[in-house]
A = this chain, B = another copy of it.
Amino acid sequence: MDVIAVESAVLMKIVPGSHMECPSNFDMKVRRWVVYFLAISILFILWKLTIIQTDVEKLQFLKDTLYLNKEQLQLSHQQLILIEHLYQAKLGKEQPMIYAITPTYSRYVQKAELTRISQTLALVPNVHWILVEDSDEKTDLVRNLVADSNLLVTHLSIKTPVYEKLGDEDPRWLKHRGVEQRNLALKWLRENLQHGKDKGVVYFMDDDNTYSVKLFKEIAKVKKVGVWPVGLVGGLNAETLILDPNTGKVTGYRSGWKADRKFAIDMAGFAINLDLILAKSQAAFSYRMEKGFQESEFLSYFTTKEELEPLADNCTKVYVWHTRTEKPNVKGVVPGLEV
């Protein structure tokens, strides 16, 4: 471009000059040389222009490259959005939060049981674990387990009164268990979540049952109160719901014990929408409830048998088992190991 600029400067000096002066004063020789010079200059300029035009046309490849890059960028961007989407789905931003309330108490198998439960929950993207210890203060064992779990956990503790506590040799059914702990979790929900704003489903999850990850997909569907079969409970292979084959509504219960209860459903066999839990703020468990009637009386706050939502493929699939772990016979303790 420098050469052209110089050429232009020379031409500008000569041409306006030749225009201002009277042509009759021109010396013929000088005029001839000026015309020659101008003609050659114009040819040179035309040649330069052609080259520049070619160069500019070559720059067209830039445009093509830009379009190619733009397309690649859009593709990459779409891929990233998809991956982000997948991750978000994994993070459960699109699914209602499941508030899993787990009472737990200190015993030899506690860490093993909580390890199993926390590893099951690690496969559920949209879960908030409310873990309530039966103790005056949170223990280091549970605190460490919570820290290691990488789960969204609210860790609480409240001690069951001594007179309500099950003795070591007592049968499981003798006393209510988990009353204080479940109620503290309900209190936490009502104090920390807003009715109408926070969305979710509340599920009572014992630390010794066995839960398939498939169960949590069902829980996420609960509109008011969802129900499903529970395996290995009440002396049956499974307790389940009896559905009307025409309407698909719950008409009764196959339960090993007092199937005539208003809701003959194990604690592991139902989940309640957070809206209801927050709206019915008086609903809680109580020592005054008859033994074995905790679930039935608690559910009575929220729903009727007719309103129950049968899940798990119309109650034909078992996704939770009422497993019980043997109490190990520990006769000696190796010191310095957290078991």
Please judge, given known A-B contacts A45-B42, A232-B339, whether A119 and B109 are in contact too, CB under 8 Å: no
Cβ–Cβ contact A321 & B112, under 8 A: yes
- Copy number in this complex? 2
CB neighbours of A289 from chain B (8 A): none
Please judge, given known A-B contacts A31-B31, A232-B108, whether A334 and B240 are in contact too, CB under 8 Å: yes
CB neighbours of A210 from chain B (8 A): 112-113, 115-116
Q: A282 on the interface (CB 8 Å rule)?
A: no
Q: What's the dominant secondary structure at chain A's contact region?
A: helix
Q: Taking A4-B49, A52-B53, A240-B337 as given, write out 11 further A-B residue pairs in contact, using a Cβ cutoff of 8 Å, ordered by the A residue number.
A: A12-B43, A15-B42, A45-B46, A62-B63, A76-B77, A111-B318, A119-B120, A235-B329, A236-B334, A323-B328, A325-B326
- Chain A residues within 8 Å of B, Cβ to Cβ: 1, 4, 8, 11-12, 15-16, 18-19, 23-24, 28-29, 31-32, 34-36, 38-39, 41-43, 45-46, 48-49, 52-53, 55-56, 59, 62-63, 65-66, 69-70, 72-73, 76-77, 79-80, 83, 108-109, 111-113, 115-116, 119-120, 122-123, 148, 210, 212-214, 229, 231-232, 235-240, 254, 256, 316-318, 321-326, 328-334, 336-339
